[in-house]
């Protein structure tokens, strides 16, 4: 028997206990109904870092928002209902200030000409009613800007790049931009050391070569990249890892060692290897290097229509129409596929051939 029914007549006590259980069950089974400010989640990957904002979306509904529903100079929940939260999968910088990975309660203090953006270590409260400045992880100031009308409060990401993005709070005719930057190279390399190369990829030459190529392509941690490339070569030398090793040696100024590694790579190169390398040069604007590789591929594989086709494309990029027409002609005479024939004929027509 519940304590509050102990001294009551049995009939009344049983009735009250029954009522208690009915009310409790009813409370647990409330009918779901729409919220006036529905919940929403917006996510964006910056580089390889996940950023997620979870918030309630109030509507304008004809009300005065700034300086009215949302007073100036007071802490506002930056949304509706529970805490607006923001989660960073890795360490970031917000408006140039460091903020560790984690989930934060997102609050603001709107001023007429600027806003204070607050990242609180408390992310589980209701709104800003129990906000405590002592729990701040970071505060930054930003400038609001005019924006097209947004009836419903919105968060969106723009100005997106591999290492930064701008998060915008948009409501009514105002937008509040918040700059987020990520040291993506550091994140990728940390992942390579502590996750990627400690998982299944550690058992394959390709895994070590992938990590080494990231260093090469992004010009970061070249010595570490070289060590990874050399480990890949030790597991099984091939064109790809030897070329990576040679390119890293070249980037480190070790010219003689670079030449030796690349010469060895060339002895193992298949037609597809040379074709891929040639297109890498071509797409990187190194047309003369691409031409040299494609010519070498033609010499090594004179019975392949694709080698002539690739060389023709590089010649056209160089502006050598005569040679391009000649190479496309050879490719056309050899290619068996009708789709490729149509494409080559179109290329020849463009060149006037």
Walk along the chain (353 residues) and give the pLDDT tens digit of each residue: 444 444 445 555 455 455 455 455 555 678 888 888 899 999 999 999 999 999 999 999 999 999 999 999 999 999 999 999 999 999 999 999 999 999 999 999 999 999 999 999 999 999 899 999 999 999 999 999 999 999 999 999 999 999 999 999 999 999 999 999 999 999 999 999 999 999 999 999 999 999 999 999 999 999 999 999 999 999 999 999 999 999 999 999 999 999 999 999 999 999 999 999 999 999 999 999 999 999 999 999 999 999 999 999 999 999 999 999 999 999 999 999 999 999 999 999 999 97
One domain for residues 251 and 276: no
Contacts with 31 (C-beta within 8 Å, 6 or more apart), sequence order: none
One domain for residues 87 and 168: yes
One domain for residues 132 and 44: yes
- Residue 69 Cα to chain centre, angstroms: 36
One domain for residues 44 and 178: yes
| Number of separate domains in the chain | 4
Tokens (6 digits) for 2: 């519940």
CATH number at residue 312: 1.25.40.10
Residues paired with residue 142 on neighbouring β-strands, in sequence order = 115
**Is the distance from CB of 127 to CB of 83 less than 8 angstroms?**
yes
- Domain boundary among the residues 160, 182, 204 is at 182
One domain for residues 112 and 195: no
Tokens (6 digits) for 290: 């691409």
- Domain boundary among the residues 214, 242, 268 is at 268
Contacts with 313 (C-beta within 8 Å, 6 or more apart), sequence order: 282, 324, 347
One domain for residues 44 and 172: yes
One domain for residues 209 and 247: yes
One domain for residues 74 and 196: no
Range of the domain at 24: 1-33
One domain for residues 263 and 348: no
One domain for residues 73 and 143: yes
Strands (E), the chain: 39-46, 49-56, 85-88, 92-94, 97-99, 102-110, 115-120, 136-142, 145-158, 164-181
- Cα dihedral 316, 322, 326, 332, rounded to 10, equals 50
Q: How far apart, in whole angstroms, are the C-alpha atoms of residue 219 and residue 131?
A: 44
Tracing tokens 């209902």 back to the chain, one arrives at 81
One domain for residues 62 and 21: no
One domain for residues 43 and 172: yes
């Amino acid at each position: 028997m519940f304590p509050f029914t102990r001294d009551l007549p049995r009939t009344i006590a049983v009735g009250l206990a029954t009522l208690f259980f009915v009310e409790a069950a009813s409370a647990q089974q409330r009918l779901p109904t729409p919220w006036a400010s529905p919940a929403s989640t917006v996510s964006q990957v910056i580089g390889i870092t996940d950023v997620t904002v979870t918030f309630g979306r109030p509507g304008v509904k004809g009300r005065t928002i700034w300086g009215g529903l949302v007073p100036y100079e007071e802490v506002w929940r930056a949304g509706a209902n529970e805490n607006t939260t923001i989660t960073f999968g890795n360490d970031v910088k917000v408006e140039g200030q460091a903020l560790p990975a984690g989930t934060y309660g997102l609050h603001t203090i709107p001023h007429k000409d600027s806003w204070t953006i607050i990242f609180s270590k408390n992310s589980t409260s209701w709104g800003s009613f129990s906000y405590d400045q002592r729990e701040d992880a970071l505060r930054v100031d930003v400038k609001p800007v005019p924006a097209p009308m947004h009836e419903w409060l919105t968060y969106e990401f723009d100005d997106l790049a591999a290492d930064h993005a701008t998060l915008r709070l948009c409501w009514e005719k105002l937008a509040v931009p918040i700059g987020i930057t990520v040291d993506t190279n550091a994140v990728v390399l940390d992942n390579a050391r502590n996750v990627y190369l400690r998982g299944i990829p550690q058992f394959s030459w390709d895994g070590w070569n992938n990590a080494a190529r990231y260093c090469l392509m992004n010009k970061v941690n070249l010595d570490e990249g070289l060590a990874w490339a050399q480990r890949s070569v030790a597991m099984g030398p091939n064109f790809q890892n030897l070329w990576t090793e040679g390119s890293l040696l070249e980037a480190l100024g070790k010219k003689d060692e670079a030449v030796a590694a690349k010469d060895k790579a060339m002895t193992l190169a298949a037609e597809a290897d040379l074709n891929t390398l040639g297109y890498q040069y071509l797409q990187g604007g190194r047309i003369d290097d691409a031409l040299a590789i494609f010519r070498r591929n033609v010499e090594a594989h004179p019975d392949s229509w694709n080698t002539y086709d690739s060389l023709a494309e590089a010649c056209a990029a160089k502006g050598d129409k005569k040679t391009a027409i000649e190479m496309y002609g050879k490719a056309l005479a050899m290619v068996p596929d009708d789709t490729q024939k149509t494409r080559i004929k179109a290329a020849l027509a463009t060149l006037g051939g």
